């Protein structure tokens, strides 16, 4: 089993939540990094801030399906849109524990930052402004 931190469209109530059916919720969490808006979804980048999300437990088959959803080509980082990496949970019930997450693997020069690191909050704020 794998612990996976999600922070964007895979979360409950968002566009790709069905991809997480069958996963076991382990708790809310924050991990190190920063978020950017890459279009219809966010991208997590290594960084000094914190990203808000949730941790789930998934099996090997589920993780392999998520790799496809996230555009990760196993063994070929340069061909991957996202790359799965291990980070340490900064807060929440799993504080101090290692988890895997998908890190955005493309240029972000034209991407808007999400300074507070919370994609759900960002969506609410963007919708309110529209």
Total domains in the chain come to 1
pLDDT at 73: 95
**Residue 70, both tokens:** 């996230």
3-state per-residue secondary structure call for 7-55: CCCCCCCCCCHHHHCCCEEEEEEEEEEEEEECCCCEEEEEEEEEEEEEE
**Residue 81, both tokens:** 């849109």
pLDDT per residue as tens digits for the range 13-45 = 999 999 999 999 999 999 999 999 998 899 999
47: confidence class by pLDDT, cuts 50, 70, 90: confident
pLDDT per residue as tens digits for the range 53-106 = 999 999 999 999 999 999 999 999 999 999 999 999 999 899 999 999 999 999
pLDDT at 128: 57
Half-sphere exposure of residue 36: CA atoms within 13 angstroms, side-chain side: 15
**CATH number reported for the structural domain that contains residue 22 in this entry:** 3.10.490.10
pLDDT at 20: 97
What residues make up the domain containing 89? Answer: 2-129
Q: Which of 31, 43, 36 is nearest to 4 (CA)?
A: 31
């Amino acid at each position: 089993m794998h612990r996976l931190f999600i922070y964007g469209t895979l979360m409950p109530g968002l566009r790709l939540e069905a991809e997480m059916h069958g996963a076991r919720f382990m708790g809310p969490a924050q991990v190190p990094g920063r978020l950017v808006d890459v279009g219809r979804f966010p991208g997590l980048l290594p960084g000094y801030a914190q990203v808000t999300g949730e941790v789930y437990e998934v099996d090997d088959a589920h993780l392999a399906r998520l790799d496809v959803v996230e555009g990760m080509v196993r063994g070929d980082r340069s061909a991957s849109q996202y790359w799965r990496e291990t980070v340490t949970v900064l807060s929440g019930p799993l504080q101090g524990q290692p988890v895997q997450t998908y890190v955005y693997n493309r240029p972000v020069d034209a991407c808007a930052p999400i300074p507070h690191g919370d994609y759900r909050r960002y969506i609410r704020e963007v919708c309110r402004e529209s």
